[in-house]
């Protein structure tokens, strides 16, 4: 459990101690706050034979099985391939497993993440289990995008919201993790501390510099858009999910701010302010807005089956082809 999750922890553990814990829980909230890690800690605590206030004991049989990754009472369901759907066959397999292994009084926890990956058939298949779960079974569904879940799943679970920690708390934690430039990485990760740490751990700042350099070269006609797209895909998206597209969005927003007469202090990319002001001086507001609209569509499509390389090529060609003065 992370320090900013204490109130969620206290609420859920006290519900359990008062026998009031719902059988279906939906953990939701911004990405990068540690919902998955929390769910695993909470599952361990639920299964532990002698739990402490803030964690599992680490010594009992259940805890030992968990450490050996062979506790049959902890089940998880995730897409077979990252970014793809959780299929109905996987849900059926899980339900069959639960019915075959129902045993005595022991608890059982099932973690489904990301729950927004459940397709419609898989969701329907899960409904009955959510409505009438086997005794002592807790289902934890996790999502950054609760609106993408079918309404019937949402209505059959108790929604537990995970908030972003305050900036000071995040910075303190990042500093304790020995992250360099904690302010900058936190800002570039929309305030989510784990996303900021992942960015720092994956050389995110260096990659951002490289992509921004390339983006400037595209504007001055010194780079080829198709070669660049291949580079963005290879260097930019490995381990960083949508971040490079979110960066590009923030560069465009800063250009718009600059065109609207905003001061450097209002820019999200303070470290690139001068270069962004130069780029702003070459383009008109309308064409930047049209590119930003296209980028937002791409961010929505990215991670679906749409061809990622083609989407990035389209964006970089559009950026390189803007009318410049």
Residues lying near Zn ion in the complex (CB under 5 A) are found at: 48, 56-57, 60, 63
- Residue appearing with tokens 């700042």: 205
Q: Which is nearer to Zn ion, 63 or 225 (CB)?
A: 63
113 touches 36 (CB < 8 A):
yes
Q: Which residues pair with 118 in a beta bridge?
A: 86
Q: What is the nearest approach in angstroms of Zn ion to the Cβ of residue 49?
A: 5
Q: Which is nearer to Zn ion, 57 or 292 (CB)?
A: 57
298 touches 310 (CB < 8 A):
no
**Does an H or E element contain 24, and which?**
strand 24-28
Q: What is the nearest approach in angstroms of Zn ion to the Cβ of residue 10?
A: 19
Q: What is the nearest approach in angstroms of Zn ion to the Cβ of residue 26?
A: 26
Return d(Cα 177, Cα 59) in angstroms, integer: 27
Neighbours of 275 (CB within 10 A): 17
Nearest alpha-carbon partner for 295 in 269, 258, 256, 238: 256
Q: What is the nearest approach in angstroms of Zn ion to the Cβ of residue 168?
A: 34
Q: What is the nearest approach in angstroms of Zn ion to the Cβ of residue 34?
A: 21
Q: Which is nearer to Zn ion, 17 or 167 (CB)?
A: 17
Q: Which is nearer to Zn ion, 65 or 259 (CB)?
A: 65
Q: Which is nearer to Zn ion, 27 or 45 (CB)?
A: 45
In this structure, the strands spanning 74-77 and 24-28 are: unpaired
Phi and psi dihedrals of 80, rounded to 5?
Answer: -65, -35
Q: What is the nearest approach in angstroms of Zn ion to the Cβ of residue 188?
A: 39
Q: Which is nearer to Zn ion, 21 or 57 (CB)?
A: 57
Q: Which is nearer to Zn ion, 9 or 173 (CB)?
A: 9
264 touches 273 (CB < 8 A):
yes
Phi and psi dihedrals of 114, rounded to 5?
Answer: -80, 135
196 touches 186 (CB < 8 A):
yes
Q: What is the nearest approach in angstroms of Zn ion to the Cβ of residue 45?
A: 8
Return d(Cα 187, Cα 132) in angstroms, integer: 43
């Amino acid at each position: 459990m992370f320090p900013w999750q204490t109130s969620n922890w206290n609420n859920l553990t006290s519900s359990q101690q008062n026998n009031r814990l719902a059988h279906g829980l939906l953990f939701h909230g911004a990405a990068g706050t540690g919902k998955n890690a929390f769910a695993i800690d909470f599952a361990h605590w639920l299964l532990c034979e002698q739990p402490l206030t803030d964690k599992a004991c680490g010594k009992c049989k259940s805890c030992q099985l968990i450490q050996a990754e062979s506790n049959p009472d902890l089940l998880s369901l995730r897409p077979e391939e990252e970014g793809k759907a959780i299929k109905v066959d996987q849900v059926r397999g899980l339900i069959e497993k639960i019915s075959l292994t129902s045993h005595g009084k022991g608890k059982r926890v099932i973690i489904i993440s990301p729950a927004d990956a459940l397709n419609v058939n898989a969701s329907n298949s899960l409904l009955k289990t959510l409505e009438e779960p086997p005794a002592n079974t807790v289902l934890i569904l996790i999502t950054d995008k609760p609106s993408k879940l079918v309404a019937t799943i949402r209505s059959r679970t108790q929604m537990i919201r995970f908030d972003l920690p305050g900036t000071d708390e995040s910075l303190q934690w990042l500093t304790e993790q020995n992250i360099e430039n904690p302010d900058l990485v936190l800002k570039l990760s929309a305030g989510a501390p784990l996303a900021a740490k992942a960015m720092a751990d994956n050389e995110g700042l260096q990659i951002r510099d490289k992509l921004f350099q390339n983006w400037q070269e595209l504007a001055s006609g010194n780079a080829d858009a198709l070669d660049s797209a291949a580079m963005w895909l290879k260097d930019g998206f490995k381990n960083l999910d949508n971040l490079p597209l979110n960066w590009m969005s923030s560069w465009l927003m800063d250009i718009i701010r600059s065109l609207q007469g905003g001061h450097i202090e209002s820019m999200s990319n303070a470290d690139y302010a001068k270069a962004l002001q130069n780029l702003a001086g070459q383009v008109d507001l309308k064409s930047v807005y049209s590119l930003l609209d296209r980028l937002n569509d791409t961010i929505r499509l990215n991670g679906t089956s749409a061809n990622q390389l083609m989407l990035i090529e389209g964006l970089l060609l559009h950026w390189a082809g803007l009318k410049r003065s």
